[in-house]
Amino acid sequence: MTIRVFLLCLLAVFAQTSRQPAEPSGLLIKNAQLIDGTGAAARRADVRVAGDAITEVGSGLAARPNERVIDAPGKVVAPGFIDMHSHADRGMDDTPDVATQVMQGITTAVVGQDGGSELPIVDFYERLARVKPAINYATSVGHGTVRKLVMGGDYKRAATAAEIETMKVLVDRGMRDGAIGLSSGLEYDPGFYSTTDELVALGSVVAKYGGIYSSHVRNENEGAFDAWREAIEVGRRNNIPVEISHIKLAVKPAWGRAAEGLKILEAARREGVKVMADWYPYTYWQSSMYVLIETRDWENRAAWQKGFDDIGGPQNVLITNYRPDPSYNGKTLAQIAAARGQNAVTTAIEMMREAGPGTGVIGTSMSEDDLTTFAKHPLVLICSDGSLSGRHPRGYGTFPRVLAQYVRGLGVLSLPEAIAKMTGRSAAQLAIPDRGVVAVGKKADLTIFDPATVQDRGVPGNAAQAPVGIAHVIVNGQVVLDDGKVTDARPGRGIKRGR
C-alpha cells in the first residue's frame, strides 16, 4: 500500500474513534427508591450493574466513565418481576421481543404449565438459545404431556403401574434437562383421569432433583378445597414444594370462602409442606368452554344449567375462540343464543357438538372480596396466566394492575409486600437463588416504574392495551425496555433448576 493510502486509512480509523464514544459498559440507576424484593421497606439507594450482574448497591454512587446513568427520581427500582404461571412461550419464536411481557415489567416467565410442556425439555432450552427472547424462561415438565405420550389415545382411565414407571423415566429425563419441576392440569385431558397416587409417584422423581410440583387443581369451584388438599398431599408424601396455580373460587356458591380455604394452606405449612399459591388480579378467567361442566356430560341440559347458574348466567361467558364461526368471538353466550333464537343451554350443547372441546371462553365469576383476600395473604404470589397475545387482559397488564389496584387503589397491599410477591418470594419458591432480589452478586434483572402512575389498561373485548408507568426493564444487565420503548436487546436465558 502506498503511503498515501496508509495515511488515509489511519485518518479513517482516527475519525471513527473520535466520532463514536465507546459503548457504555454498565449501568448506574440513580435517585430511585429501592424496593429490594425481600419485603423490606423502600430505601434510597443507587444500583450499579456490570455485565449481567448487580455489582454495587449504595447511596450516592458516582458514575464511572462509559457507564450509562438512568436517573430515576420519583421512581422505584425493584427486581424484575417473575411470572409464576405463564403461557408466554407460545408464539415466542415469532415475537422474540415478547413486548407484552417486557412492558409489564416481567423478566422471567415460568412456563410448561397446566400439565402441558415441550418435551423433551432439552428442546425447549435449545429453542430459547436459538430464538433469544428478551426475557428469561423457566419450564416445568408437563404431567399431561408425559401421560399422553405414554398412554396415547387410551388415557381415559387410571394408568397401570408399568405406565407410571414409563412416565417416571420421562419426568426424570426432563428434570435432568433442567426443568424446575412438574406441572399438572387436572381439569383438562389427559390429567383429568389421573389418580392422586399417579401424581405422587411422579412427584417422587421431582423430589430427587429438588424440584417443585405446581398444579392447576382438579376443581376451582365448590370442590376447590379438596383439590387444594390433593395438591398438598403430593407435596407432603414427597417432601417437595407445592404451588397451587392461579388460585381462585370460580363459582358463586363458593364465594366468600377464600380466608377459610387459605387456612388449609396455613395448616399444611405448619406441618412442613412448603405450599404456596399464585394468583392473578381479575374476576374473570379464560379457559375452554367445557370447564363450565365439571362432570363432562356435555349433552346434559341440567349440567349446563348448573354451570350457567354457578357463573351468574350466560351473559358472563364471553366467547374468545370459536373455530366454526369466528364472528362469535367477542360475543357472550347470551348474545349468541339470542341471535340463534335459542336458549343458552341448547346453544352451548350445539356449539360443543360443532366445535368439540376447543372453544375458548372468558368467564366472569370471581368475587372481588375473595380476590382481595388472596391478594393480601403472604402465601400468595403473583402470576398472569397470560400469553404473548390473547383476549384476556392478564397477558398485558397483570403486574401493573396489582400495583395500581391492590397497592395504590384499594391499599390492601404495601408496595414492598406486593413486590416481594412478584420477585423474592417467587424466586425462593422456585429455587432460583440468583434472581428475585436486588443485592450485590445477583443477576441484574430489574424493573423501574413510577408507583404513582403505573396502571394496566386492557379490558375484556379490548385486552391488547399496553400498560403505563413501567419505565425501564433490565434483563441480565441489558435494557429491554427503555423509557417505555421496547429495545432490540435479546438477553433472555433459559433458567434451569437451582440456577
Binding residues for Zn ion, rule: CB under 5 A, are 114, 216
C-alpha–C-alpha distance, residues 201 and 371, integer Å: 33
Residue 279 or 308 having the CB closest to Zn ion: 279
What are the distances in angstroms from CA 432 to CA 310, 397, 437?
39, 24, 11
Nearest C-alpha neighbor of 203 from the set 217, 219, 183: 183
Smallest distance, Zn ion to C-beta of residue 246, A: 5
Residue 32 or 277 having the CB closest to Zn ion: 277
Q: What is the dihedral of CA 146, 203, 294, 383, to 10 degrees?
A: -90
End-to-end CA distance of the chain: 53
C-alpha–C-alpha distance, residues 455 and 373, integer Å: 21
Neighbours of 102 (CB within 10 A): 25
Smallest distance, Zn ion to C-beta of residue 115, A: 9
C-alpha–C-alpha distance, residues 77 and 36, integer Å: 8
Residue 37 or 115 having the CB closest to Zn ion: 115
Smallest distance, Zn ion to C-beta of residue 370, A: 17
C-alpha–C-alpha distance, residues 66 and 186, integer Å: 53
Residue 59 CB partners (closer than 8 Å, separation 6+)? 44, 45, 46
Smallest distance, Zn ion to C-beta of residue 320, A: 15
Residue 30 or 216 having the CB closest to Zn ion: 216
C-alpha–C-alpha distance, residues 456 and 371, integer Å: 17
Q: Using only the alpha carbons of the chain, give its radius of gyration.
A: 24
Smallest distance, Zn ion to C-beta of residue 285, A: 9
Residue 216 or 493 having the CB closest to Zn ion: 216
Smallest distance, Zn ion to C-beta of residue 360, A: 13
Residue 114 or 294 having the CB closest to Zn ion: 114
C-alpha–C-alpha distance, residues 240 and 273, integer Å: 7
Smallest distance, Zn ion to C-beta of residue 87, A: 9
Q: Are 494 and 124 in contact (CB under 8 A)?
A: yes
Give me the DSSP letters along 343-403: -HHHHHHHHHHHHGGG-EEEEE---HHHHHHHHH-TTEEE-----SS-SSTHHHHHHHHII
Residue 216 or 425 having the CB closest to Zn ion: 216
Residue 56 or 193 having the CB closest to Zn ion: 193
Residue 116 or 469 having the CB closest to Zn ion: 116
At 425, is the secondary structure helix, strand, or coil?
A: helix
Helix axes 258-270, 368-376, angle to 10 degrees: 20
Smallest distance, Zn ion to C-beta of residue 110, A: 12
Smallest distance, Zn ion to C-beta of residue 187, A: 8
How many DSSP H helices and E strands does the chain contain? Answer: 15, 23
Residue 36 or 89 having the CB closest to Zn ion: 89
Smallest distance, Zn ion to C-beta of residue 468, A: 28
Residue nearest to Zn ion (CB): 216
Residue 38 or 215 having the CB closest to Zn ion: 215
Percentages of the chain per state (helix, strand, coil), in multiples of 5: 40, 20, 40
Residue 184 or 316 having the CB closest to Zn ion: 184
Residue 12: is it exposed, middle or buried by C-beta count within 10 angstroms (0-12/13-18/19+)?
exposed
Q: Are 493 and 127 in contact (CB under 8 A)?
A: no
At 198, is the secondary structure helix, strand, or coil?
A: helix
Smallest distance, Zn ion to C-beta of residue 181, A: 15
Smallest distance, Zn ion to C-beta of residue 32, A: 35
